[in-house]
Amino acid sequence: MAKNKMKSHRGASKRFKLTGTGKVKRNKAYKSHILTKKCAKRKRGLRKSTILGSADHKRIKAVLDK
């Protein structure tokens, strides 16, 4: 009997990408609404993606691996 393949978490795969070195890349939060009270410098910084922190790295990597 053949084993079923593990499926990657579809929600996570849309939000996170793996870099070439195996790190997890994510987008920053707080950029979707109520932007009038945020200064331009803050909004500009929120455009850039960043590397996921070490606390969540193992958990997210597990649901991304196909």
Q: Where are the domains of the chain?
A: 10-27+37-64
- pLDDT at residue 41 in the model: 97
- pLDDT at residue 4 in the model: 81
Pairing of strands 24-26, 50-51: antiparallel
Statement: the pTM of the whole predicted model exceeds 0.75: yes
Give the model confidence (pLDDT) of 2-53 as tens digits.
Answer: 778 888 999 999 999 999 999 999 999 999 999 999 999 999 999 999 999 9
Give the model confidence (pLDDT) of 28-41 as tens digits.
Answer: 999 999 999 999 99
Query: Residue 55 and residue 13: Cα distance in Å, rounded?
Result: 18
